Structure 1
Amino acid sequence: MLRLFLGKKRSKGDLAVISFMVKKFGYRPKDLELFTRALTHKSYSNTKDELKSNERLEYLGDTVIDLIVADYLFDKFPDKDEGFLTKVKAKIVNRKMLAAIGAEIGIAKHIRYKTGRSIRIATIEGNAFEALIGAIYLDSNFEITKKVFNTRIIRNYINLNEVLEQEIDFKSALLIWGQKNKLQIEYRITEEASRENDYLYTSVVVINDKKWGLGKGKSKKEAEQQASNETLELLGLQ
């Protein structure tokens, strides 16, 4: 009866996850199962019928992070246009940055995955980080998740000045990759729409006659940059 009153007895693993979330995110989980799932890679869940991997939570977390960062930059730079905001957001939410954050907070030691396989630790760190943000969102709400991300992640792990100093040229990066791999890359403007005395261009990247990323912008150059950025993401190059 006393155990029922006090609640379910926690295992060492459960306590480690709770401690990790409190220390690194300033958040105490209510539904702990969400967070253990967020830290479960498919290589581990595939070995046990009752377990679910973190893939769905990763998908959700990716979307939540994208919105939080977009909202943060929108308030941070009230005088900047959509092109600037999109480029800066892309540098913050890309796979490399999220994997680096995951590594810095020490997420790897809490991830359940099957060893002895050709698994890139950096990849599963970034994915698990996104999944944890998805778990926080489901365990609370958007406003709390936004507060956690802004105060614990952006403030402690993202150097915005350093991000702004980096030259963002997605098109050059894509073309260099294409040259190295002997692939033909071209850009096609698929639409030119007039909008309040201004033009909005839509560009698509075509690699060896196959369409990849789409981009929109007030100039052809901006549209091509955004199309290149989406293509790099689709190819898993950032």
Structure 2
Amino acid sequence: MPSVLKKIASLFRFYNEKDKRLAIAILQITGRRPLNLKLYKLAIRHASAAEVSGSGKNGNERLEYLGDAILGAIVAEYLFKKFPYKDEGFLTEIRSRIVNRESLNDLARKIGIGELIEFDAKRRVHYSHKSMYGDAMEAFVGAYYLDRGFYECKSFVLNRLIANHFDLEQIVQSELNHKSRLIEWAQRENKQVRFEVIAEQGSNHHKEFIIQILIDGEPAMTGNGFSKKKAEQAAAAKLLEQIRTAAAAAAQQQNNNLAENK
């Protein structure tokens, strides 16, 4: 073992091997050694692997709830100061792009939290698979907040997560309001567009919505998400891509016809 790793391992010499690996992973992710390892062990325990005790299930849902609030507050303050002349709608949209479930899923995988999660594969279902990594990411932030306090947690979020894994300029410039763009397309084409919920699945804590888009009363596309808004955006994004593909194919066919007629 390299000398650096030996020094790191010596910091956790009172842990068993499993806890030592977790503690080293936390050090690599945060830059600080954990003071209360139990918090992080709880943060990475998915509901499917939780055990029921006299005080309830010991999964990561409570830490996820706390981490969601802490993460949202830190990002909100950061954007508030970063964009002093932008209105609340802009700030809300950009914050949503940073802390939405898909973004947090990706972030958890990038920084290594995804590899730490404990879950019961036999009890794991479709909706929990989609949210498991992002949930653990929020729970990890909650654990770090309780372990190190707000200011160190804020530094971790801004300096290790936001600065290293998010291109703010690209996030601001990207167009994610697919629903508005689809409605604009429908207006140009003199078509009626309607979004309706056709199914809901999962628990109240992890409810997934399935949205269907109807164009002139005819089903055109479906999308799913952990809120109605996200499901609408997902369905609209897929339908816009389909429309773009069809338009490109039609344009290519028109060019081919012109070439044949020359």
- Same structural fold, with TM-score higher than 0.5 when normalized by the shorter chain: yes
Q: Kindly indicate whether the alpha-carbon contact (under 8 Å) linking 1:102 and 1:125 is maintained by their aligned counterparts in 2.
A: yes
Distance 2:134 2:164 in 1: 17
Q: Kindly indicate whether the alpha-carbon contact (under 8 Å) linking 2:44 and 2:118 is maintained by their aligned counterparts in 1.
A: yes
**2:106 aligned residue:** 100
- Residues 1:110 and 1:133: Cα distance change in structure 2 (over 3 Å): same
Q: How does 1:45-84 map onto structure 2 within 5 Å?
A: 45-46=50-51, 49=53, 52-84=58-90
Distance 1:34 1:168 in 2: 35
**Residue ranges of structure 1 left out of the alignment (5+ in a row):** 1-5, 184-206, 208-228
- Please give the per-residue CA displacement for 1:162-182, whole angstroms capped at 9, x wherever unaligned: 211211327538989964756
Distance 2:116 2:60 in 1: 13
Distance 1:38 1:236 in 2: 30
- Please give the per-residue CA displacement for 1:121-180, whole angstroms capped at 9, x wherever unaligned: 441111001000000111121111100110100011111122112113275389899647
Distance 2:20 2:53 in 1: 24
**Residue ranges of structure 2 left out of the alignment (5+ in a row):** 1-10, 187-192, 200-210, 212-225, 235-262
**1:159 aligned residue:** 167
- Say how many residue pairs are matched: 188
- Residues 1:182 and 1:15: Cα distance change in structure 2 (over 3 Å): closer
Q: Does 1:10 align with 2:7?
A: no
Deviation at 1:118, TM superposition (A): 2.7
Question: Which amino acid in 1 is paired with 2:139?
Answer: A
SS at match of 1:168: coil
**2:180 aligned residue:** 172
SS at match of 1:80: coil
Normalized per residue, which structure has more helix? 2
Give TM-score scaled by structure 2 length: 0.62
Distance 2:181 2:18 in 1: 42
- Please give the per-residue CA displacement for 1:50-91, whole angstroms capped at 9, x wherever unaligned: 871000000000000000000111111112122211111111
Q: Does 1:109 align with 2:106?
A: no
Distance 1:32 1:180 in 2: 45
Distance 2:154 2:101 in 1: 19
SS at match of 1:37: helix
Question: Which amino acid in 2 is paired with 1:147?
Answer: S
Deviation at 1:231, TM superposition (A): 4.3
Of the two structures, which has the highest relative contact order with CA contacts closer than 8 Å and spacing of 6 or more?
Answer: 1
Q: Kindly indicate whether the alpha-carbon contact (under 8 Å) linking 1:27 and 1:148 is maintained by their aligned counterparts in 2.
A: no
Question: Which amino acid in 1 is paired with 2:81?
Answer: D
Q: Does 1:146 align with 2:151?
A: no
- Residues 1:231 and 1:37: Cα distance change in structure 2 (over 3 Å): same
Question: Which amino acid in 2 is paired with 1:132?
Answer: F
Distance 1:68 1:62 in 2: 10
Identity %: 35
Distance 2:96 2:13 in 1: 42
Q: Does 1:129 align with 2:137?
A: yes
What CA RMSD, in Å, does the superposition of the two structures yield over aligned residues?
3.4
Question: Which amino acid in 2 is paired with 1:12?
Answer: E
Deviation at 1:100, TM superposition (A): 0.7
Q: Does 1:34 align with 2:39?
A: yes
- Please give the per-residue CA displacement for 1:10-57, whole angstroms capped at 9, x wherever unaligned: 1222112211111112132111100000000111113x6487100000
**1:232 aligned residue:** 229
Distance 2:34 2:233 in 1: 31
